[in-house]
């Protein structure tokens, strides 16, 4: 019988189990949590890792793990747990690893689908990769960590380079890097640069040492220029993406949290995007007539139509829209593709493989990666073997939908 003594013995037993020491330090929790707050509101999926690497290098390795900077997982898929016909119709192609790298994730695609950028990792550092028509090239390294974050139809790549824990913005074209200069003073650029067809680049910067966007400025490097233009935007304004006509998507932040999503032009004229009353939101990506982003609480994926002003929400738990194409398809924080309000996961090749979509071109090319999830038993075996646990097998891929 399940007597009181059983319960007591169980309590004592649970107290007595030998638990390995935690590497989390109380004093490091707060900075990491602040970053998470910013991440939740301002960065895109891959930027979680970028922020962590760029900003938290001085803290214990456990805090560098991007997991804390990942959008909080949804309790359930937003809809349709089984693959819809739409998902089945998308054909997967594995992308090769470039020479010298045995891991990489495809994170961005240009609107035409010709160029794909992504990153491998080595230790805590990024290693940038450019796929052109499916052929992989590892971009040269000129910093401790180089992260490619976006590419345009001309094959111009932008990203962040980290040297001695300082981030700078770069443009990579014609085989060489050009540093895009930050304004005078000490600025930290974040979350990651975006580029349009013409080659205009945008990002935000905050005074070094700040977190959560206090004192943020929004920056634009017009195509070909290396001098930043400070955009005439209201206090707390962040820009995260730029349209070919020069309009920029982002939002106004208050106390480090996303408040109101906006689209601005270069003169600072803004179009406020609709948010249901009592909620807050921000935009993360813009393409054609479409803008995607998040609405809190609870963190739905939002899709705004710039012409009609209409808002479509796909319910999720901390699962905002991360990228969008000119047809209004988007990817969400869980790596699903949302079309017509219906979230689906890309086909992964079966077994225990799970596909994660990171970006979509206007031609319907989805880019991302596939992870071969371990069984509990395999994970246990690896842990028992001791030492470093190897990555779960994963590969970069595209899906033509």
Residues making contact with other proteins (CB under 8 A): 2, 6-24, 26, 29-30, 32-34, 36-37, 40, 45, 48-49, 60-70, 72-73, 75, 103, 105, 121, 123-124, 334-335, 354, 356, 369, 371, 373, 379-380, 383-384, 386-392, 394
Closer to other proteins by CB, 190 or 221: give it. Answer: 190
Report, in Å, the least distance between residue 297 CB and other proteins.
Answer: 9
Closer to other proteins by CB, 20 or 133: give it. Answer: 20
Alpha helices in 43-103 (DSSP H): 45-55, 61-64, 85-88
Closest CA to 390 of 148, 129, 102: 102
Report, in Å, the least distance between residue 337 CB and other proteins.
Answer: 14
Report, in Å, the least distance between residue 13 CB and other proteins.
Answer: 3
CA distances from 113 to 20, 96, 155, 259, 327 (A): 47, 16, 11, 33, 14
Closer to other proteins by CB, 278 or 386: give it. Answer: 386
Closer to other proteins by CB, 27 or 164: give it. Answer: 27
Report, in Å, the least distance between residue 376 CB and other proteins.
Answer: 9
Contact (CB, 8 A) for 228 and 221: yes
Closest CA to 399 of 340, 371, 359, 372: 359
- Rounded Cα distance between 12 and 62, Å, is 30
Contact (CB, 8 A) for 107 and 46: yes
Per DSSP, the residues of 6-71 read HHHHHHHHHHHS--PPP---HHHHHHHHHHHHHHHHH--HHHHHHHHHHH-TTS-HHHH-GGGGSP
Closer to other proteins by CB, 264 or 399: give it. Answer: 399
Contact (CB, 8 A) for 208 and 186: yes
- Rounded Cα distance between 383 and 309, Å, is 52
Report, in Å, the least distance between residue 346 CB and other proteins.
Answer: 12
Report, in Å, the least distance between residue 55 CB and other proteins.
Answer: 14
The dihedrals phi and psi of 245, each to the nearest 5 degrees, come to: -85, 5
- Rounded Cα distance between 194 and 168, Å, is 14
Closer to other proteins by CB, 227 or 297: give it. Answer: 297
Report, in Å, the least distance between residue 381 CB and other proteins.
Answer: 11
Report, in Å, the least distance between residue 144 CB and other proteins.
Answer: 15
Closest CA to 44 of 66, 61, 59, 75: 66
Strand pairing report for 337-339 and 342-344: antiparallel
Closer to other proteins by CB, 1 or 175: give it. Answer: 1
The dihedrals phi and psi of 323, each to the nearest 5 degrees, come to: -145, 160
Q: Give helix 26-42 / helix 45-55 axis angle, nearest 10°.
A: 140
Closer to other proteins by CB, 106 or 156: give it. Answer: 106
Closer to other proteins by CB, 329 or 356: give it. Answer: 356
CA distances from 176 to 172, 298, 374 (A): 6, 43, 39
- Rounded Cα distance between 14 and 9, Å, is 9
Report, in Å, the least distance between residue 191 CB and other proteins.
Answer: 14
Report, in Å, the least distance between residue 105 CB and other proteins.
Answer: 6
Contact (CB, 8 A) for 204 and 228: no
Closer to other proteins by CB, 51 or 182: give it. Answer: 51
């Amino acid at each position: 019988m399940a007597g009181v003594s059983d319960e007591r013995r169980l309590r004592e037993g649970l107290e007595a189990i030998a638990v390995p020491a935690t590497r989390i330090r109380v004093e490091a929790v707060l900075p990491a949590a602040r970053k998470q707050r910013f991440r939740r509101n301002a960065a895109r999926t891959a930027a979680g890792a970028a922020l962590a690497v760029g900003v938290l290098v001085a803290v214990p390795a456990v805090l560098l793990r991007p997991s804390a900077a990942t959008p909080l997982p949804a309790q359930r898929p937003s809809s349709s747990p089984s693959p819809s016909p739409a998902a089945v119709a998308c054909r997967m192609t594995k992308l090769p690893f470039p020479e010298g790298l045995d891991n990489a994730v495809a994170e961005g695609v240009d609107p035409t689908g010709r160029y794909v950028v992504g990153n491998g990792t080595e230790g805590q550092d990024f290693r940038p990769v450019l796929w052109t028509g499916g052929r992989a090239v590892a971009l040269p390294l000129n910093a401790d960590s180089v992260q490619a974050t976006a590419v345009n139809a001309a094959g111009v790549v932008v990203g962040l380079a980290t040297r001695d824990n300082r981030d700078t913005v770069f443009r990579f074209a014609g085989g060489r890097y050009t540093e895009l200069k930050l304004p005078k003073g000490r600025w930290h650029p974040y979350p990651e640069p975006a580029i349009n067809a013409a080659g205009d680049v945008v990002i935000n910067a905050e005074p070094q040492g700040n977190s959560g966007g206090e004192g943020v400025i929004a920056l634009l490097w017009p195509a070909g220029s290396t001098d930043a233009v400070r955009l005439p935007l209201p206090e707390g304004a962040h820009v995260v993406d730029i349209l070919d006509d020069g309009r920029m998507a982002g939002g106004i932040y208050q106390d480090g949290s996303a408040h109101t999503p906006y689209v601005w032009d270069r003169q600072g004229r803004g179009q406020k995007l609709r948010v249901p009353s009592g909620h807050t939101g921000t935009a993360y990506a813009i393409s054609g007539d479409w803008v995607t982003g998040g609405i809190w609480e609870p963190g739905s994926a939002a899709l705004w139509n710039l012409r009609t002003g209409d808002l479509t929400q796909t319910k999720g738990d901390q699962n905002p829209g991360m990228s969008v194409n000119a047809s209004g398809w988007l990817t969400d924080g869980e790596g699903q593709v949302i079309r017509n309000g219906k979230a689906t996961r890309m086909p992964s090749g079966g077994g225990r493989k799970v596909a994660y979509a990171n970006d979509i071109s206007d031609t319907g090319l989805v880019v991302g990666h596939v992870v071969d999830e371990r069984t509990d038993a395999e994970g246990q075996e690896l842990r028992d073997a001791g030492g470093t646990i190897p990555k779960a097998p994963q590969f970069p891929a595209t899906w033509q939908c």
